[in-house]
Structure 1
């Protein structure tokens, strides 16, 4: 079984989700849309792989907005087409943060600014804790999505929908894949300034992330297994 991970920037990686997919027997291939040298000018050209070459697609987070054409205008259309075709072919998609927003947009939902950003570890209200544990989950986003027509919202908080099901696909607003290494990268790429601007201590966030490593792995494992077994309905 072959899984494709869409890394939109060099700082993000499949992390805990990727590790669990490999433990479940998946051959995981990652592609990077925006290379490191274009991080601050992400309007690049990129040719996405065909969805029918894969048994599973993971669309990861990004520091940009799906609707920001100055940042993603040249490649977001290709990703939306990929996710839309995957859905129609029955290829399961796990969309994470930006990836969930792209999935929602591709299937007829929408994305817009959240009432306020979410940065750090938060709990969510889940209708199905065996699929989406209550957390805490790591979050770093400024936007929120309206799930597409026919989707089922399965988790939320006061800011936005936190998880939705659409056929064999799952979108989550939080970051189940997160590792302390990636949190450190976010902070180094302007995240420290963002934290301070919103009244957060970046060193506290990093320390909290270290303290959460074991429960974060447990939650990521549970979510990945439930996604594979109950939503994607595929196993190796």
Structure 2
């Protein structure tokens, strides 16, 4: 893939989203404001689930790997091996990857990092300490995770807080632990999916204040939408950086 020099041009190419909800409508909804911003910047968007046929990598400018209620270290997940193989192929082909939460954990794993259960799960909006706020701001960012990733060998730590590493880069690839795509619609989709997932059971068991989070997501909707666009543009600068 040849990087394009003008990151502000009206149309650049194609973007692939990898989603992890087997319900097609929920999977599409999970892409949230990230998909909106990608489309607004002139990209043709394709959305796939790793259980299906994964497209030829050469047709895409970059890949965005979304969250999941599964664990990135659970090799019993039926489609996980295929996705890991696909992401390794993307790295080998120099197709940039933007990993979000579970997607960031997968990116860490394929780069040689580790993913494990977190001693400090995060739910709701939190701030992070960024060494490159022009790339990843201090937030606040929406969190909903029980696992955490380590910094892969050769990667650059970008942000962390007291709970976990929050963002890293590896060349033109970016992994984040938080959810920049959040919106009231995405949150509603998550809650619908929890009825049939292990994450939903954990939410119930841990007594998370869903009403409080719902109210904050609604109150921060415009801010979150704007922050997501800024983060995407920062990632696109990585995508089209000289190699």
Q: Work out whether the TM-score is over 0.5.
A: yes
* CA displacement, residues 60-106 of structure 1 (integer Å, 9 cap, x when unaligned): 00001011233x1x321111111112112211110000001111111
Residues in 2 aligned to 1:108 and 1:50: alpha-carbon distance in whole angstroms: 24
Identify which of 20, 41, 46 aligns with 1:8. 20
Number of the residue aligned with 1:134: 138
Matched, 1:67 2:73: yes
Decide which of 85, 97, 115 is 1:93's aligned counterpart. 97
Query: Given the superposition, is the C-alpha separation of residues 187 and 161 from structure 1 closer, same or farther in structure 2, using an over 3 Å criterion?
Result: same
Q: Which residue of 2 aligns with 1:232?
A: 239
* CA contact 1:192–1:202 (8 Å) conserved in 2: no
Deviations 1:185-211 (Å, cap 9, x if unpaired)? 222324776445334321111111100
Q: Within 1, Cα distance between the matches of 2:129 and 2:203? A: 24
Match runs of 1:33-182 below 5 Å? 33=50, 45-70=51-76, 72=77, 74-182=78-186
Q: Which consecutive unaligned segments of at least 5 residues does structure 1 have?
A: 34-44
Q: What's the CA shift string for 1:48-68, capped at 9, x where partnerless?
A: 223222111000000010112
Alignment coverage as a number of residue pairs = 220
Inter-partner Cα distance in structure 2 for 1:48 and 1:31:
7
Are the structure 2 counterparts of residues 103 and 145 from structure 1 closer, same or farther at C-alpha, using a change threshold of 3 Å? same
Shift of 1:27: 0.5
Q: Does 1:20 align with 2:37?
A: yes
Return structure 1 stretches of 4+ with deviation > 3 angstroms: 190-197
Task: Give the TM-score normalised by the residue count of structure 1.
Answer: 0.87
TM-score under structure 2 length normalisation: 0.85
Unaligned residue ranges in structure 2 (runs of 5+): 1-12
